[in-house]
Amino acid sequence: MNMAENIRSEDLIKAEEKKETSINTIPFYKLFSFADATDKILMFFGTAGATGNGLCQVLVAVLFGDLIDSFGLNKTSDVLQAVSKEMMNKMGIYLIQYDRSGYGESDPNPKRSLRSEASDIEELADNLQLGSKFYIICSSMGCYPTWGCIKHIPHRLAGVAFVVPIVNYQWPSLPHNLTKDDQRKKDYWLMTMTAKYIPKLLQWWAIRKTSTNDPKTTYFTSKDLEIIKNLPGFQGFSPEKLRNRSIFNNLCSDFLVAFSSWDFDPSELSNPFPENGQSCVHIWQGSEDKVINLKIQRHIAERLPWIQYHEVPNNGHLLIYDTTVCEAILRSLLIG
């Protein structure tokens, strides 16, 4: 072998080594692009690795409940569009979204409970090996499993941001004067009983209701409708979707856990971060939200002084899709 051939051979070896290195080394977030339907079940809730001395990227979980979809929205990937790439790069964060059980490509779990979902989250964190603690951002129906996390696995949490969290009128500590005239309490009770004992009747009613009324005008404010216009692929639960038995059964299962009696009262929970000296739990609420009773939300925040309460003027139930608000949520959670 002459000198030219020897140099060419060495160049080829270096090129192959470089190629092999580039194949074996990819950004962490790209691993999630290889997930199949089974993997997405494991990625049901996101986890966040410890930041250590700033050497690790912060991973933030974004949890959503698809009952928000029955108010109109089922394209949760739009949340990522509400956060600028500049901010994500500057803060060094990855936002990871997962399909909750029974939504998207995740298998349904008809035996779900607050305790089992918290256990699933803990198991997920261990399986993904992303550290001992994780952050959670949850919205609407995705918030009830997060209350379960604060109750059952507080030692695994780095911080929590509730965004327009649902209210369960079965919570014993809710004052009667705040709930007695609230039509939502009666509606939830009736729907819960029907879902439990006569689900076919509820399915018929839901199909009929969506066929004759536009839920957007019922549950969304003018600000919500403005946000919807800028969300590509926006769609609600149509009569066709509700006729799908598996979709409807999963909605019933989710609804029953969220609005039936719990094994604890959130307003009696202890601060999950007593050693920090400051609150790492936030509630973000739109002042014009038609879905949530604002007075009850304020009451919960007053009962739990370790929660930082943020009431955003002129915003409704789609608060998290407002770019300015979404970025403020991230900053308050990760920076304080």
Range list of β-strands (E), 206-306: 281-286
Tell me if the pTM is above 0.85. Answer: no
Kindly calculate the radius of gyration of the chain based on its CA atoms and give it in whole angstroms.
23
| Furthest CA-CA distance within the chain | 94
Q: Specify the 3-state DSSP secondary structure of 124.
A: helix
Q: Which amino acid is at 271?
A: N
Q: Specify the 3-state DSSP secondary structure of 7.
A: helix
DSSP state of 308: E
d(CA 244, CA 43): 25
pLDDT tens for the chain, 336 residues: list them.
554 455 445 554 454 544 444 434 333 333 333 333 323 222 223 333 323 323 334 555 544 443 333 333 444 455 656 666 777 777 777 666 666 677 766 777 878 899 988 887 787 777 766 678 888 888 888 889 899 999 999 998 889 999 999 999 999 999 999 999 999 999 899 989 999 999 999 889 888 877 766 656 677 888 888 887 777 655 556 777 788 888 888 888 888 999 999 999 999 999 998 876 677 899 999 999 999 999 999 999 999 999 999 999 999 998 888 888 988 998 898 887
Arch. (CATH architecture) of 51-335: 3-Layer(aba) Sandwich (3.40)
d(CA 208, CA 227): 27
d(CA 246, CA 82): 31
Tokens encoding 183? 């039509």
Q: Specify the 3-state DSSP secondary structure of 158.
A: strand
d(CA 48, CA 112): 23
**Domain spans of the chain, in order of start:** 51-335
In DSSP terms, 97 is beta-bridged to: 62
